[in-house]
Amino acid sequence: MDLLFPGLIVGFREGLEAFLIIAIILRYLKKSNREASVRFVWQGAALGVALSLLLGGVLYWIAKSTSAVDPVAKLWEAGASVFALVLVTTFIAWMIKNGSSMTSEVESKVRKTLSNAGIFVLAFAFVAREGVEIAIFTFAGSYSLLGILIGILVSLVLTVLVFFSLVKVNLSVIFNVTLVYLILQAGFLLGYAVHEMLSAFKDLGLLDAGSAVYVKLFDLSGTVLDHKTGVLGLPLYVAVGWYSKPEIVQFAVQYLYTIGVFFFWWRYAKGSRA
């Protein structure tokens, strides 16, 4: 249950972006009297979904195949989390730079794409990108598949309501709020990778258990801030990646990353307004 909410947010955020992109393409084609190209949008989107499912299946199989040996599994999870973090960070950077102008960017690409093959590739590329993000987040964070599916379904319903002008919502606010959450989750992913790596090194005897890198910054286990059972700790763990007994190294790396990404976002937004 503690991984249901993160999965729901990730599924909703990425699903909403993918569905809105398809809606923007369809609306633009309708405005420009290119209804004959609509089927190529659906075909490209379907292929993008298929690629995402294939990647998700491969990552799931790899994760299951490495779970038998504890130290190896921890090293694998640490390495895979770092790799996933690199990809996720590039996605976050793209969102920061392009999220506010998504409609104009998509329409510009469609306008420049005259052939049906180009429309197909465009729809495939946009949907595949969002699907790959979901697959990577799900794999690296071990999020609930049920949460992912619920989030995607909610985003689909919202997109349909917006497309047919049945509801009016401030999409930029939704994107910004969910982007904040994704940044926090990415930072948590990095902290988790460091924790698992240190644990694996200790199990393999590569580092002594008394090494300074294992010194805890604080230990709030058994209190209301316990990240596993605490009344406040568990919700904070789900929401922002709170950990009640982090190593100093883990804590520093996680929050330096998080603060750094937020600072990049602030600087970029400030530069865009100048």
Which residues contact residue 6 at a Cβ distance below 8 angstroms, ignoring those fewer than 6 apart? 141, 143, 144, 147, 185, 238
Instruction: Tell me what the mean pLDDT of segment 140-155 comes to.
Output: 81
Torsion angles phi and psi, residue 216, rounded to 5: -80, 140
Instruction: Tell me what the mean pLDDT of segment 140-151 comes to.
Output: 78
Residue 159 scores a pLDDT above 80: yes
Number of helical H runs and strand E runs in the chain: 9, 0
Secondary structure letter of residue 216 according to DSSP: B
Per residue in 171-193, pLDDT tens?
A: 778 888 888 888 988 898 888 88
Instruction: Tell me what the mean pLDDT of segment 76-84 comes to.
Output: 77
Secondary structure letter of residue 274 according to DSSP: -
Look at residue 257 in the predicted model and tell me its pLDDT: 95
Look at residue 254 in the predicted model and tell me its pLDDT: 93
Mean of per-residue pLDDT scores for the chain: 82
Look at residue 178 in the predicted model and tell me its pLDDT: 82
pTM attached to this predicted model: 0.77
Look at residue 1 in the predicted model and tell me its pLDDT: 46
Which residues contact residue 84 at a Cβ distance below 8 angstroms, ignoring those fewer than 6 apart? 136, 137, 139, 140, 189
Residue 265 scores a pLDDT above 90: yes
Residue 80 scores a pLDDT above 80: no
Look at residue 261 in the predicted model and tell me its pLDDT: 95
Structural domains counted in the chain: 1
Instruction: Tell me what the mean pLDDT of segment 91-107 comes to.
Output: 75
Per residue in 223-249, pLDDT tens?
A: 999 988 888 888 888 777 788 999 999
In which domain, by residue range, is 65 found? 4-273
Per residue in 108-129, pLDDT tens?
A: 777 776 678 888 888 898 888 8
Angle at 65 between CA 188 and CA 47, to 5 degrees: 75
